Chain A
Amino acid sequence: AQKVTQAQTEISVVEKEDVTLDCVYETRDTTYYLFWYKQPPSGELVFLIRRNSFDEQNEISGRYSWNFQKSTSSFNFTITASQVVDSAVYFCALSGPTGANNLFFGTGTRLTVIP
């Protein structure tokens, strides 16, 4: 069965600190996709990144970086030099190779960046 665990319910950091949001997943598929979404206070979900199971290269986009490790079934998200605008709920999600109903979200981590 597919499952995504975001053990950190809430995290607070002071502005300019680095913060890592954890995501652990379970799947029996050999091909799968991992996503991160950001939900700011306004409510909409913003797509941040997609990784496929065959590409374990870490990715950096500005202050954001993602560490995908199949050995530990983790897809962690790090924000460097956090800013107040980073305050949001962040969701990790897992999708199998087929099926429109095959996207599973974690319960989210609420990040608060204190100025």
Chain B
Amino acid sequence: SQTIHQWPATLVQPVGSPLSLECTVEGTSNPNLYWYRQAAGRGLQLLFYSVGIGQISSEVPQNLSASRPQDRQFILSSKKLLLSDSGFYLCAWSGTGGFGNQPQHFGDGTRLSIL
């Protein structure tokens, strides 16, 4: 069966520090991968998605970036964090064969607090 791992679970970082959140998927090949952010008490905002190695699409201009160095690895990064980057970050994967009808499966999330 497929599993998705996301770490760390919790992170507290000072403003201006770098960021690296990692997500890996097991049990499937060539998944579509996604990074979402959920601000407190709000819905999910799609940040990045990837349909293959090295292929990253950005949905929201910001100081975050994403990379997909391996088929089942998706990394969210920042060179300098802002206070507004605080939130709950969720990684997700979906199968190929059409985007629309494939449910997305989420990791446990990372709670990021910027001080």
Interface on A for B, CB 8 Å cutoff? 31-33, 35, 37, 42-47, 50, 52, 91, 95-103, 105-108
Contact = CB atoms under 8 A, between A and B. Distances in A.
Contact of B49 (A37, A98, A100): A100
Nearest to A29: B100
Shortest Cβ-Cβ A-B pairs, 9 listed: A45-B106, A107-B43, A43-B109, A97-B100, A95-B100, A44-B108, A100-B49, A105-B44, A105-B43
A42 B9 CA distance: 10
A108 B43 contact: yes
Contact of A32 (B59, B100, B104): B100
A100 B44 contact: no
A107 B42 contact: yes
Max chain B CB contacts within 10 Å: which of A35, A45, A105? A45
B74 interface: no
Contact of B99 (A43, A52, A91, A99): A99
23 contacts: A32-B100, A43-B88, A44-B108, A45-B44, A46-B106, A47-B104, A47-B105, A96-B100, A97-B98, A97-B101, A99-B99, A99-B100, A100-B32, A100-B34, A100-B51, A101-B46, A101-B49, A101-B57, A101-B59, A103-B99, A105-B44, A106-B43, A108-B42
Contacts, number: 65
A48 to B, nearest CB: 9
Contacts of B107: 44
Contact of A98 (B44, B59, B99, B108): B99
Interface string B80-94: 000000001010101
B102 to A, nearest CB: 8
A101 B44 CA distance: 12
B103 interface: yes
Given A101-B46, A101-B49, A103-B46, A42 B108 contact: yes
Interface string B42-62: 111010010100000101000
A103 B47 CA distance: 12
B101 A91 contact: no
